[in-house]
Amino acid sequence: MKVYMVTDLEGVAGITQWDPRHEGDTPATAAVRQRFGRWLAEEVNAAARGFFAGGATEVIVNDGHGAGQTMDVELLDPRITLFHGTQRPDYCTGLDETCDAIASVGTHAMGGTPHGNLAHTMGRGVRYYSFNGIHVGETGLQAFLAGYYGVPYVFCAGDEWAVREMQELCPGCVGAAVKMGTSQLSALTCTPARAREIIEQGAEQAMSVIGQVEPLDLDSPVVFREEHDEQRFDEESVPPDRRVINSHTLEIEAETILDVLNIKYGHDPDWKPAWRQQPQADTEG
Amino acid sequence: MRIYIMTDLEGVAGVCQWENRDDDGPWNTQRRTRLSRLLAREVNAAVDGLAEAGFDDIIVNDGHGAGSTIDYEIADPRALYYHGLDRPFWLPFLDETCDATGAVGAHSKARTPDGTLSHTMSSAIRRWSFNDIEVGETGLQALIAGYYGVPFVFAAGDVWLCREIEELCPGCVTVPVKYGTGRHSALTLVPERACEVIREGAQRAAEAIGRVEPLTLESPVLFRDERVEPTWDEETDAEEEGVRIINAHVREVEGDDLMDVLMKMYPQYDRDFKPEQWRPGVRT
């Protein structure tokens, strides 16, 4: 059983402030960032322990926050395989039909969620993302992409509001609520240590809902829409494969969500990871 | 049994200097890291004692400064912690569901002679009173608790704060961890000893529940807000309903009850914000 885990920072217990990675490199920001990297890594470890205890044989972790290398790799459970870095070749590298489940750790609610702690969708200033009219945050987007591969979203660790969001989108998935936001920058939280216990327990339970939770499904064609607070688009200068609805709103229509994301992020649709190409090369040789 | 603990930094043993949040240098960063640890250890000592006293539901408000001062890597996992900025209220989750409230790291009110790092909210405030009852931050916490019928039973901090709150809430348990001798000096217990006495005091906090009357105010509530510097303008600020400008230093705010007055003092707060009784856990 192979589990794909996407991580983010804002839903980690004990964190209520934005990652100060753009605030200058000072001893103070360094201390905060090191602490956050440790806390994220330990929540990831806790989830991995739960997945392995529940029957997983492989856990791939996608270091999804910010610059793509947020978690402290020195602390990671050696059974984990980590995908990290920037300039990624596709949206969720390693997520495909060979996975049995997708999960998220450090999850925050979608932009605009009342009381959601550090709630946002991708960048700040995004009003919403939607697929075929269904509003999603970052994690909802990932669950839809997983659904394209027939992979169910089974586990959400993070802010209470993120857990509710994902349980509504993917009924039957297991949540591990480690804090409850009371505003953008405030929350009631358990300590990192207690969060790890809850996450481990929830992750183990999540393995038992594989096969029960339906993978998310989107009818073709898939219409993706993004709306921004600020004016971002020019009706008279429309980029290829896109529709400018107005200066705040853009649409991409394509056959599948994978096509949509490849257009959105400019990824090469023919790219396949080497580890997928390898078996083919072997048989040909 | 639920208790709500407010925390601050200035009343922690070993602290006699303001926290500097503007200096990002290595020395100050180390200092701030130590302050977070000292506060967390006192909070842990209180949580330990309170748990022993029978409190199985402990909410700690990380109240100082930027709202995230406690070192959560060492914080006792039996408590929940409220932290962060842009809060919907000063003391969210303190309401009628609590059996008691208390404070750790508490300091005396502004202008307390010899009170270490004495102040009320900020250096701008000279004196606060509600219906002629003079309060500092801890007194205001006791009043908010009293509004919900909750008694203030436990305080750890500067001896002058302990005396201040004993007078307002007779019968509460106080744990002086230092003896202020001026705004920036104190005779202090070392952190380890302070934690021992805080644990011992917290163990006795439950006994004070029946003994201490919730601190309440009669309606209408008159808040008197005195500032160090000339702040109010008699010609323009008086236009707000319920606000009277006495002179450039002093204004009075009148309301039906304490919450009414607080919402006039802090327009950014949301009176209707009623958080759920949240507990962390696995959701299926």
Q: How far is B23 from chain A (nearest CA, A)?
A: 9
pLDDT higher than 70, residue A278: no
B88 to A175: CB separation less than 8 angstroms, yes or no: no
pLDDT band at A283 (very low <50, low <70, confident <90, very high): low
Which homologous superfamily does the CATH classification assign to the domain defined by B2-215? Dipeptide transport protein (3.40.50.10780)
- Please state, as a whole number, how many other Cβ atoms lie within 10 Å of the Cβ of residue B152: 29
Q: What is the DSSP letter of A115?
A: T
Q: How far is A19 from chain B (nearest CA, A)?
A: 14
B280 to A193: CB separation less than 8 angstroms, yes or no: no
B29 to A24: CB separation less than 8 angstroms, yes or no: no
For position B237, what pLDDT does the model report? 77
CATH of the domain at A142: 3.40.50.10780
Best residue of A189, A197, A208 to probe chain B, by most B CBs closer than 10 Å: A189
Residue in chain B closest to A160 (alpha carbons) equals B280
Q: Vertex B43, ends B37 and B47: CA angle to 5°?
A: 140
Closest CA to B68 of B109, B107, B30, B19: B19
pLDDT higher than 90, residue A279: no
Query: Containing domain of residue A70, as a range?
Result: 2-284
Q: Is the dihedral of CA B210, B212, B215, B218 positive or negative?
A: positive
For A72-127, write each residue's pLDDT tens digit: 999 999 999 999 999 999 999 999 999 999 999 999 999 999 999 999 999 889 99
Q: How far is A132 from chain B (nearest CA, A)?
A: 27
* Cα separation values, A44 from A33, A38, A136, A197, B219, Å: 16, 10, 23, 12, 53
DSSP assignment of A188-254, as one string?
Answer: EE--HHHHHHHHHHHHHHHHTTTTTSPPP--PSSEEEEEEESS----TTSPPTT-EEEETTEEEEEE
For position A221, what pLDDT does the model report? 98
Closest partner residue to B80 among A17, A27, A190, by Cβ? A190
For B184-206, write each residue's pLDDT tens digit: 999 999 999 999 999 999 999 99
The two structure tokens encoding residue A150: 């027939």
Give the residue, A67 or A195, on which the prediction is more confident. Answer: A195
pLDDT higher than 70, residue B156: yes
| Distance in angstroms (rounded) separating the CA atoms of residues B243 and B239 | 7
Mean of the per-residue pLDDT values of chain B: 96
| Distance in angstroms (rounded) separating the CA atoms of residues A30 and A33 | 5
Give me the residue spans of the domains in chain B.
2-215, 218-275
pLDDT band at A138 (very low <50, low <70, confident <90, very high): very high
B68: which chain A residues are within 8 Å (Cβ-Cβ)? 16-17
For B29-77, write each residue's pLDDT tens digit: 999 999 999 999 999 999 999 999 999 999 999 999 989 999 999 999 9
β-bridge mates for residue A6, sequence order? A62, A104
Interface residues of B toward A, Cβ cutoff 8 Å, are: 24-26, 28-30, 32-33, 59, 67-68, 72-73, 75-77, 79-88, 92-93, 273, 275-276, 278, 280-284
Count of domains for chain A: 1
B82: which chain A residues are within 8 Å (Cβ-Cβ)? 182, 186-189
What percent of chain B clears pLDDT 90, i.e. is strictly above it?
Answer: 95
Closest partner residue to A189 among B80, B273, B284, by Cβ? B80
For position B50, what pLDDT does the model report? 98
Q: How many residues does chain B have?
A: 284
pLDDT higher than 80, residue A277: no
Closest partner residue to B72 among A14, A28, A184, by Cβ? A14
What's the average model confidence in pLDDT over B127-136? Answer: 98
What percent of chain A clears pLDDT 90, i.e. is strictly above it?
Answer: 93
The two structure tokens encoding residue B106: 């508490």
What's the average model confidence in pLDDT over A236-247? Answer: 95
For position B235, what pLDDT does the model report? 85
A99-116 burial: b if 16+ Cβ within 10 Å, else e: bbbbbbbbbbbbbebebb
Is the ipTM higher than 0.90? The answer is yes
B87 to A176: CB separation less than 8 angstroms, yes or no: no
A175 to B284: CB separation less than 8 angstroms, yes or no: yes
For A149-207, write each residue's pLDDT tens digit: 999 999 999 999 999 999 999 999 999 999 999 999 999 999 999 999 999 999 999 99
| Distance in angstroms (rounded) separating the CA atoms of residues A105 and A60 | 12
Residues 6+ apart with CB under 8 A from A25: none
Best residue of B4, B64, B282, B284 to probe chain A, by most A CBs closer than 10 Å: B282
B33: which chain A residues are within 8 Å (Cβ-Cβ)? 31
For B231-277, write each residue's pLDDT tens digit: 999 888 777 889 999 999 999 999 999 999 999 999 999 889 999 99
For position B47, what pLDDT does the model report? 98
Best residue of A25, A169, A186, A212 to probe chain B, by most B CBs closer than 10 Å: A186
For position A266, what pLDDT does the model report? 94
For position A285, what pLDDT does the model report? 43
